[in-house]
Amino acid sequence: MTTADHDPRLDAYWMPFTANRQFKQAPRMLARAEGMHYWTDDGRQILDGVAGLWCVNAGHARPKIVQAIQQQAGEMDYAPPFQMGHPKAFELADELAKLTPAGLNRVFFTNSGSESVETALKMALAYHRVRGEGSRTRLIGRERGYHGVNFGGISVGGIVTNRKMFGTLLSGVDHLRHTHDPARNAFSVGQPEHGADLADDLERLVALHDASTIAAVIVEPIAGSTGVLIPPQGYLQRLRKICDQHGILLIFDEVITGFGRTGQPFASQTFGVVPDMITAAKGITNGSVPMGAVFVQQAIHDTFMNGPAHLIEFFHGYTYSAHPLACAAGLGTLATYADEGLLTRAATMADTFATALHGLRGLPHVVDIRNFGLVGGIELAPRPGEPGKRAFDVFLDCFAHGVMIRTTGDTIALSPPLIISAEQIGQIVETVAAAIRRVV
């Protein structure tokens, strides 16, 4: 491609997780956003079917969030998080601890989901060492799992395209089998009936490595970026039981499912399984300012609180941990969620969403539909020799017709803002249906 093929002002920016050459030949530029919609730079209105990137749970440009950020920017732009604090960091942590499952009342702030995962993995390793079981160094992820893009995250993650370029990654990592079983569970509404036994794969890894070497298991309650894989009935419960039997920490990656996506503040509450740690980001600030967090069982936190009081207990953190603007945005976000009951609204809208999604069954190339709360996946058969191309063409068609969706491989992912109406659900699904019919 030559500079004649596109605007040279687009050259400098190397875009993340983007087909850069395709984009720069036909840019999709978003200029502003409000409520459920974006507007392009040429004035077209686009209905947001993916909450930005799974993160804008309360919709765009919400007044309390905007005002909180503006006020904080004028009051104090930055405060160092090492050996210093500022009031909003403690206030936000306290408010978040009121939402988390029982016991997960200690909050460590990061700046993204990727950083939250790295932090949780380091906490798990350090915890076992502090309590005298330093042999527990092995980390267990899951095939098709997504845990961000840092080295720890892609090591425990199981998406091949995120791993194959980067060498051997962390040592001492193994993976559970994934839970996708279309032969038994295709077109399940909500949690699939079959597959709880897949959690027993952890027993295989315990037999292979011995429990004394395993520090933690990390899974997404609902696997998002791999194509919306819903946990089979009983699967998470069985995983929790096996971890307890062998002294293994269980980490739930709720970067996507946290803050209302499943009809409760956290998916662990929806599914009735309490992990030892939860990683979060995205919805914590409604996507307005980068922020993440790790929620930790108090007993794990307290294990670190030993030795001389003037010494650092955990040598980890970031320059922008608990950034004042992010904390202000977080408080404005939580207030918005509370004002409108958004953390439980997905439960109210789930049946409407499920009915609309599963209405696509029978369309050309649709091989599976998966849903839970306000997250859904529509899996298309790939074109021979062109994996991902059919879904990408549906994405482009939908955008041209005023709806933004997301694709991962040949799966269409939907995760709209929690403020969505029944009419807007209909618009999204009808636009997707029309696109599927048009795309060969």
Two tokens, residue 200: 């027993």
Task: Tell whether 104 and 223 lie within a shared domain.
Answer: yes
356 shares its domain with 330: no
- Residues 355, 322 within the same domain: no
Same-domain check for residues 48 and 83: no
Counting Cα atoms < 13 Å in the Cβ hemisphere of 380 gives: 30
Question: What is the predicted pLDDT for the residue at 1?
Answer: 41
**Residue 360 is encoded by which pair of tokens?**
């696509």
Name the residue among 296, 134, 292 with its Cα closest to residue 213.
134
The reply to whether 326 and 434 lie within a common domain is: no
The helix/strand/coil state of 391 is helix
* Residues 326, 385 share a domain: no
Extract the tokens encoding 315.
């040598």
Residue 6, pLDDT score: 78
pLDDT of residue 2: 46
Same domain, 274 and 353: no
| Residue 272: predicted pLDDT | 98
Domain shared by 228 and 320, yes or no: yes
394-402 long-range CB contacts below 8 Å, 24 or more apart?
394/432, 394/435, 394/436, 394/439, 397/434, 397/435, 397/438, 397/439, 398/49, 398/431, 398/432, 398/435, 399/28, 399/46, 401/431, 401/434, 401/435, 402/44, 402/45, 402/46, 402/47, 402/431
Q: What is the largest CA-CA distance in the chain?
A: 68
Q: Which two tokens stand for residue 157?
A: 């993650």
Amino acid at 89: A
pLDDT in tens, 121-162: 999 999 999 999 999 999 999 999 999 999 999 999 999 999
Cβ atoms of 216 and 140 closer than 8 Å: yes
Rg (CA), the chain: 22
Residue 238: the pLDDT is 98
- Say what the pLDDT of residue 141 is: 98
**Pairing verdict, β 37-40 and 292-296:** unpaired
Flag residues of the chain having pLDDT under 70. Answer: 1-4
**Following CA atoms 41, 405, 363, 374 in sequence, which dihedral angle do they give, to the nearest 10 degrees?**
-140
At which of 298, 321, 340 does a domain end? 340
pTM of the model: 0.97
What's the domain range around 191? 66-340
Report pLDDT digits (tens) over 11-61: 999 999 999 999 999 999 999 999 999 999 999 999 999 999 999 999 999
Domain count, the chain: 2
**Do 286 and 256 sit in the same domain of this protein?**
yes
Asked whether the beta carbons of 172 and 155 are under 8 A apart, the reply is no
Residue that terminates a domain, selected from 340, 375, 407? 340
Structure tokens at 232: 């089979």
Q: Are residues 384 and 415 in the same domain?
A: yes
User: Dihedral of CA 182/188/191/195: which sign?
Assistant: negative
Residues 231 and 243 in one domain: yes
Task: Quickly count: other Cβ atoms within 10 Å of residue 437's Cβ.
Answer: 13
* Same domain (yes/no): 237, 224: yes
Contacts of 73 (CB under 8 A, 6+ apart): 325
Domain boundary among 340, 355, 376: 340
